[in-house]
Structures are given as structure tokens and as C-alpha cells.
Chain A
Amino acid sequence: GAVVSQHPSRVICKSGTSVKIECRSLDFQATTMFWYRQFPKQSLMLMATSNEGSKATYEQGVEKDKFLINHASLTLSTLTVTSAHPEDSSFYICSAAGDSTYEQYFGPGTRLTVT
């Protein structure tokens, strides 16, 4: 399957600061990228869907001004958690899908801890 990377894999930041997480599709062009959040021992919650070159579509209850998503190229999407608070601590996972594929490839995830 295709390879999707995330960077960083783990980040600790202070409350009030912003953190940027990168998601890259390494060997295919990802027209659509997804951002998920996973709490311990729980399922993945879709936060937003982004298509290259257009604004992200956020799921109900997800604050778009807090979770800024940019999908500027076919291989890179970024999620910026602005003014992070301890309740934003979570495992963030991205996935990528090509234009005509039914498969969605997941990154390894980023563990965010806000102190």
C-alpha cells in the first residue's frame, strides 16, 4: 500500500502555544486528506476533510478556527492546533486518498500532549 508519513510523531507543548502537524503522502498524489482524533481506547473521530487547493470541510462540533487545516499541495496537508489547551491532548491521525481510489492510507499518528 501507499505510504503516508506524519511529523512529528510526538510533541509536548505548553498551554496557549500553537502546534503544527504535517501529513505527507510519499508515493502518490493525495487529492483528499483526512484528519482524525483518537482518544485513549476509543475509535477515530473524523475532524475534517480537505481537498487540495480548497478549504477544509469540518465535522460538526470541530472548531475550524482552532484546528487550522491547509492542503496546499497533492502531497502535504497540515493541521495547526492553535492556542492549545490540555484538553487538546490526543492522538492525531491523518489519512490520504487518491483521486480514483477507494483506499485510504493512514499515517502513523502524532501524540500531542499539552501541559
Chain B
Amino acid sequence: GEDVEQSLFLSVREGDSSVINCTYTDSSSTYLYWYKQEPGAGLQLLTYIFSNMDMKQDQRLTVLLNKKDKHLSLRIADTQTGDSAIYFCAEKSGGYNKLIFGAGTRLAVHP
């Protein structure tokens, strides 16, 4: 079945780069997403990548996709304290835009 896995926790120093990793199992995934969730709030779409792309860059965010290994990563350059949040990886599956989420990676940014 479909499964998305992420590491649960990442701690980085302010100003450093953060890399959050994700693996998925559904080879027919068409889109892969990164969402950000701050405490007590809903999910904010950060970026997405189509399955025929290898890389997508959007300001401080870089998404890398290795379709052969079914591995997705999100790199945040110059990480700031405001980036502290939970980051969810998700894959689009099925005909109704159904998303399968990973467990989320809690990013802690310290001075």
C-alpha cells in the first residue's frame, strides 16, 4: 500500500541549511508536496514537485526528487527561527487528489 516516511526531528543552528528527508512507496505518485504546520494551525503549502522533475527551487527552498529511490528532500537555506515548525511530506495518489502524508518532521532552530 501507500506509505510515506520521514524522520521525526531535526535540530539546526540559525543560519545553517536544513535538509528534511522523505521516502515514499507509491511509484505512480504524480505530485509530491511539502507542507508546513505551525502550532495550532492548519497546513501551509510550501512547494510541490511533479514526478517528472528532479529539482525545484523557490527562494530559500530546494526540493530534490530521486524517483528511482523514491526519495524526496526539502532543503531550507539560511534557516531562521521562524522556520521552526512541523514539515509534512505528502504524495498525491488516486483520482481525487487524495494526499498521503508522512508523520511530519519537527524542525527546531536554535541560535
Contact = CB atoms under 8 A, between A and B. Distances in A.
Contacts of B64: none
B45 interface: yes
A107 B45 CA distance: 11
How big is the A interface, by class? 20 to 34
A95 to B, nearest CB: 8
Contacts of B19: none
Contacts of A103: 45, 48
B45 A1 contact: yes
- The secondary structure that dominates the B interface is strand
Interface residues of B, number: 21
7 contacts: A43-B103, A46-B99, A49-B98, A93-B42, A102-B97, A103-B45, A106-B35
Given A34-B97, A57-B96, A101-B97, 17 more contacts: A4-B42, A6-B42, A34-B98, A42-B103, A43-B101, A44-B43, A46-B98, A46-B100, A97-B97, A102-B30, A102-B97, A104-B45, A104-B97, A107-B42, A109-B40, A109-B41, A111-B40
